[in-house]
Amino acid sequence: MVNRLSLLVDLASLLTREVDFDALLTTACERVAEALSAERATIWLVDAEHGDLVSRVALLPELPALRLPLERGIAGWVARTGEPVRIADAATDARFDPSVDKATGYTTRAILAVPIREEGRGPVRGVVQVLNRTPRSGEGSEAFDDDDERYLVALATQIARAFSLTTLRPAEPSSAGLTLRGPFNRIVGRSDELRAVYERVTLAAQTDATVLLRGETGTGKGLFSRAIHVNSGRQAGPFVTVDCTTLPAQLVESELFGHERGAFTGADRRVPGKVEMAQGGTLFLDEIGDLPHDVQGKLLRFLQERTFERVGGRQTLSADVRVVCATHQDLERLVSEGKFREDLYYRIRVVEIEIPPLRARGVTEMEQLANHFADMYAKRYKRPAPELSSEALAVLRAHTWPGNVRELEHWIESAVVLAPDGRIGTAHLPRTRKVVASAGAAAPTAPPTGASAGEGGVAIPLGLTLDEATKRYVAATLDACDGNKAEAARRLEIGRNTIGRMFQRDSDPGAGEDD
Ligand SMILES: Nc1ncnc2c1ncn2[C@@H]1O[C@H](COP(=O)(O)OP(=O)(O)OP(=O)(O)O)[C@@H](O)[C@H]1O
Ligand SMILES: [Mg+2]
């Protein structure tokens, strides 16, 4: 019999990593079924966007995933009422929907289904349902009992709490259901640009092929490198990072491959390298473009043969390691300048994954990320559920994010700290001093990437409606005035209330005037 407590611990630790949700919930289902000696277990999620239940079915191999309207079946009843249901014979209960059994050929008898909600209160996020206990000899009935129910309710509370730490969260804390923000539980984003990344990450994770992650600073290369590891067959092994930038050149080789005692002054004992430490797992070489030239040859050999020597050692060692590299640099240029070995360049880019900059992913995704970070930091700093005012959102939309997701994360983190009542306005955002949208300032030509705030103006991409373009221009002006509406209104020669109304009409009335 599985230790019922260990199941809770397992789930909690899985949820803190960048795992694929399907894999996670499948594991959860398997463990729940085992813990309760049930033949089948299902985790249903309340999909807020579609307004129905979507299943992650573990021990029901006949069907990959199901969608059910909330009006139907036991799970629907539990999701609607928030009450647990325990019945010994499904056929006698009018709420039972036999259509799934019909489709699968499985016969449901005993059912125990409980809502996924925090502390037994609050909106229902989903339903955990187990079917047909398999009694041991001498153990009597196959129906679930009080203990089973108490346990499952406690487990469902844990699941709800754990969800709140992931991207699988409601659109707003008080709203019902969940919004699926992406396939990985720590990575937000559903733009086409990111979908292409997920696809490649998932495919790469299934193999041991060397991966090169490329993208500007702060786009999530570190995050995706870990996602490759935790979704691969090596997830139980170590994930070891070597940051090629922070090491003095002489130390990189020993950091990577280790050294023998006496290899150099100060080497008073043998030290294993990161390659050895990553045995059975994944080695992440961050900022590979900064790898010193003489170590590049040794890395190349390791990638080709998986063999190496420690510094000062003669013994040839080998390690079973999957390598993921990342860089924000133009490797092709480094190759043409002779700074990066061409043969190594081809070796590391077996699978190349380009992570798009934030500005290329669209405004919706930027806002989703902003809300994600707002929720995350509000939880961390014990602030009330945050709300971004429409003016603050307009400032975010007008910004071009040279520092990408990391920059956005920093902005929101500080805003959450500076807005103790949770109402985040423009005054809580950093001052982007680059934008000087003063009247009469010549607008620079727009860079090809779209909306970009340059020196002395704001570039507004073509293709916007006049309304949206106006809004962005006003937002940039407001930004340049450090959120001071009176000053912005003066420069724009419009009334202060016009600015207020402009953003208030947008989406959330009441959140407009908050500075
Ligand atoms: N899609 C995303 N969803 C949620 N958080 C994200 C996402 N992308 C990035 N982040 C967060 O943004 C920060 C920066 O990401 P990360 O460190 O992975 O970027 P990077 O590309 O490695 O940057 P650098 O090149 O500067 O090392 C991290 O805190 C990360 O958790
Ligand atoms: Mg990084």
Q: In terms of domains, do 451 and 394 share one?
A: yes
Q: What distance in angstroms lies between residue 213's CA and the mean position of ligand 2's atoms?
A: 10
Residues 199, 278, single domain; the answer is: yes
Residue 490: CATH number of its domain: 1.10.8.60
pLDDT at 441: 38
Structural domain total, the chain: 3
The domain boundary residue, chosen from 111, 144, 163: 163
What is the CB neighbour count within 10 angstroms for residue 464?
Answer: 14
Task: Give residue-wise pLDDT tens across range 84-122.
Answer: 999 999 989 999 988 878 877 888 999 999 999 887 678
The residues of the chain scoring below 70 in pLDDT are: 1-22, 56-65, 120, 136-140, 169, 171, 173, 180-183, 432-457, 462-463, 504-515
Q: Are residues 69 and 138 in the same domain?
A: yes
- Per the listing, tokens 């945050």 go with 386
The whole domain housing 11 covers 4-163
* Sheet arrangement for strand 239-243: 239-243, 282-286, 322-327, 211-214, 351-354
217 pocket-lining for ligand 1 (C-beta < 6 Å):
yes
Q: What is the pLDDT of residue 164?
A: 73
Query: Where does 153-225 show beta strands of DSSP type E?
Result: 211-214
On whether both 204 and 319 belong to a single domain, the answer is yes
Show the tokens assigned to 178.
Answer: 């969940």
Contacts of 466 by beta carbon, 8 Å cutoff, 6+ apart: none
Residue 381, both tokens? 């700093």
- The sign of the dihedral angle between the CA atoms of 288, 292, 296, 298 is negative
Length of the chain: 515
Q: Does 295 fall in a domain?
A: yes
Per-residue pLDDT, 182: 65
Same domain, yes or no: 103 and 244: no
Give domain status of residue 381, yes or no. yes
Residue 376 inside a domain? The answer is yes
Per-residue burial over 107-144, b if 16 or more Cβ lie within 10 Å, else e, is ebebbbbbbbbbeeeebbbbbbbbbbbeeeeeeeeebb
pLDDT at 393: 94
Ligand 1 atom at shortest distance from the alpha carbon of 220: 18
User: Is 171 inside any structural domain?
Assistant: no
Of all atoms in ligand 1, which is nearest to the CA of residue 225? 18
Q: Which residues partner with 119 through β-bridges?
A: none
Measured CA to CA, the distance from residue 178 to residue 182 in angstroms comes to 12
What is the phi/psi pair of residue 303, to 5°?
Answer: -65, -30
Q: Is the CB of 222 under 6 A from ligand 1?
A: yes
Q: Is residue 53 part of a domain?
A: yes
Dihedral sign of CA atoms 133, 27, 15, 45 in order: negative
- Could you tell me the distance, in angstroms and rounded to a whole number, from the CA of residue 407 to the centre of ligand 2? 13
Measured in Å, residue 286 CA sits from the centre of ligand 1 at 13
- Angstrom CA distances, 76 to 71, 124, 127, 175, 187, stand at 6, 11, 8, 17, 29
CATH number at residue 158: 3.30.450.40
